[in-house]
Chain A
Amino acid sequence: MSNEATIQHDTHTHDTHDAHAHHEHAHHEHKQHFLSKYVFSMDHKIISRQFLITGMFWAIAGGLMSVFFRLQLGFPDQTFSVLSKFLGEWARGGKMDPEMYYGLVTIHGTVLVFFVLTGGLSGTFSNFLIPLQIGARDMASPFLNMLSYWFFALASVVMFSSLFINTGPASGGWTTYPPLSALKEASMGSGLGMDLWLVSMAFFIISSLLGGLNYIVTVLNMRTKGMSMTRMPLTIWAFLFTAVLGVLSFPVLLSAAVLLLFDRHAGTSFYLSEIFIAGRALPNVGGSAILYQHLFWFLGHPEVYIIMLPAMGMASEILSTHSRKPIFGYFAMILSLIGITVLAFLVWAHHMFVTGMSPFLGGIFVLLTLLIAIPSAVKVFNWLTTIWKGNIRFTPAMLFALGFVSLFISGGLTGLFLGNSALDIHLHDTYFVVAHFHIVMGISAFFGMFAGIYHWFPKMYGRFMNNTLGYVHFFITFVGAYVIFWPMHYEGVAGMPRRYYEYSAWESFKQFGELNQMISVAAIIVFFAQLLFVFNYFVSVWKGRKVTDPNPWKANSLEWTTPILPGHGNWDGPIPEVHRWAYDYKDNGEGGDFIPQHIPLREGEADEHH
């Protein structure tokens, strides 16, 4: 498992062209077959782009679904020809069928949580940055890494195909609670659509496990000489804990899914008991519908941090780099990551305060849940102190990182309402929850992801993304996100339930009709702003301004010591040795304000982090 061995073949080729390493390198890449270079690639950088582009596909698909159901929510008494165009029989005459409404809500949630913000986020950046930032030529197992992507692709195909079957996709919400999801009599989406959902999730979990194990092994074993754990950039720490969370919690979801499949097809009663449906009493007795919720949320809550941690790590890196200041409280940041990781496993039942669970148990979960506020607060204050007295460059990446902090604060604080069971007993399953999790793990994780893309795009493609479009993207998205989700808190406080197709028959909620319209319009505008980002991305891949400086942001971490467009193997020569921590933004004695990790300590200079 040595660094050099993993891509023996490639480095060997490099050696033969040693004299013109750089020039020949490009030449060599051309000779590789298209299939092995871009499709069944084992290069972590290509795999990361595969994750990213698949994630983008799902983000657009999932976003479009939200546009459709926002049309229904904002304008329940109107018809839209675009709906009948896309949804066909499911929107006859331009009016969306409730079954399809719930199907879209379900698939929107599923693909954004899992395919975009897990696969697309940690799949992309763990893959891209771990080898580059720790100084490795590739992942510990490039082959498993490739498999990880292809299982993700398989999961994607299965999930996408479920949109086209005649009983429609799964429609019980992204949490797919049984008995609704277990009984095909209970809803159309609980037919074949639900089976495809479960199979797709099983493939996704395999993908995530293959990826996660690989990330952990790579971080622990393949760091270059001098790269002690406490010299790693916080991105790597975040990816490491993300992988640990995934490896320990995803298998539990798999078991939940398998038991659900048994209940659906093998006549078992794990989740079913005393049910009378479609005119008959089912034979199942003794199961517990609540069991599924425990299993689901045992993954479901860590999943939130699987989404958040990479965004936190990248924001830390970007805030520090563009403020030209070391990250404040490096060890406190690591400790808070550890705190969050441990607590992530101990809070799952706060999603279940109103299931009738023991109030005493509920009390324990309140306590443990609110504890998470402490490491989160530490992180926020450390970010603020990082930019304090900095020398800030407002690149698009920096703007998104700042936006990330703002959204994380807003969404994190509303968690203190929901984590307190005596408040949750009213706010549970209302729009307050919708607002909370969209801001804190939806939009803010997206901001972390955008920051990462703008920041590392030059490393990915050797070109910059267009700045101006980046700024337009930032301002529309930031303002739009708050316009969409801020008023939803109020709706939730008024008790407006989520997952409703229409509110006009409700004396208590119909007064929000005008507001729902406004939210829908904002959502559509924000959706188009994301298309602008995708447009910018792909135009810049081919037409963007070329990178001429291998270290365009003047950053310290190792990825900027590679050639502008690194080949498979990352460094042409030997892997650089590391002599200092990743955040040495200080006077380098020659008028510069940073000292990259591979620069040896000057005489008499003390290493702050050994």
Chain B
Amino acid sequence: MMRFDNIIIGMALSLILCGVTIGAERFPPPDFVETDHVIPSPTVPGPRQDIYEYIDAVVLLAALGLSSYLVLRRRSRRAIFVLMVFSLLYFGFWRKGCVCSVGAVQNIVLSIFDRDYTVPITVAVFFLLPLVFALFFGRVFCAAVCPLGAIQDLVLLRPISVPNWLESGLRLFAYVYLAAAVLFAATGSAFVICRYDPFVAFFRLSGNLNILIIGACLLVISVFIGRPYCRFICPYGVLLRQLSRLSKWRVTITPDECIQCRLCEDSCPFGAIKKPTTDWPTTEYSRSKKRLAILILLLPVLMFLCGWASSGLKTVTSRMHATVRLAERIYLEDTGKVEGTTDASLAFRATGKEQKELYADASNIRAEFKLGGWFFGGFVGLVIGLKLIAVSVWRKRTDYEAGRAGCLACGRCFQYCPKEHERLKKIKEARAKY
């Protein structure tokens, strides 16, 4: 038996003598003389064919169209529910949660900021279609197409209502999340929406354990609080909310005229039904006027403060980018502030690149975060300010109606309206005649 150490030493010696670089062909591939052995080639199983990606886009279009029809014309919770289950099975469990509209936000943002980054057509379709549909028909995507919404809606068994102030306050998180996702995507640091997608691990039945636990917690919460991810976290929901405010057609609780019977009042598990208001209380008027004036003046101050704060956090936020992390590590190692090396620092040193280059890259990225921080903070400040202004403005409403922004078009309220029953009865009678 040969001593192995000798072999290693021998080989190392021969390496040094020949002066070959690591990973090069140290041993020439053999010519087989005694046997006619054929050198095999590695297998290359292909990815999913493009045609299936297009099928996904077509299914999305069909599901959105059907959802709009079911919500606005058919007005049937049962049919919406069936479509929702289909979407959960198809986009969730079959397609394993990727590609999804929520995550597509980041691809679009990165494609705007990175000239070399290109977007596959499916991703562009997944981003744009639900927004266009929201502009025409409201949040029909949330109703029955989004698998993330569907999985929460299925477990909603004991809904309890969330007070308005808490709902509005928690929703702020979604705006911050959107802004953060845009910041990190624009700088090419990370796709945080995908990284912290709480339900994708369920669709795949495997994944990061921490995320799986967060997802399980959210699902438990969903039993009592309707669709917490959609209402308080979903960054794409923020876009849909705003576009759905302007939508041409939207969910109406009653098919014709509200008779103020109050039967639908508690039917919405998402707190999206707006109740009729009384007239503007005249005693409050002057006080509200002053408050509104102060808030409007405060708005730019708030934006500036938030922008300044988050821009100042650039050293922390920029650590989301791998290059900045690497540069910091290399700097610490070179100045002897830390012992040892990491895989990343070793890999960097193996490339033989100059430290200067790396530091320059890192400081460029940090500068991007400084500028991005202003936009991030400015946006968050704007949202906080507008939220405060919104609560101090009196809105006049005479009927019970589905909130333009908050309504997820799930169709639960239809059955509560006596006018709806009248309509269904008429349809039944008309059918019986034929």
A and B held together in a complex: no
List residues of A whose CB falls within 8 A of some B CB.
Answer: none
List residues of B whose CB falls within 8 A of some A CB.
Answer: none
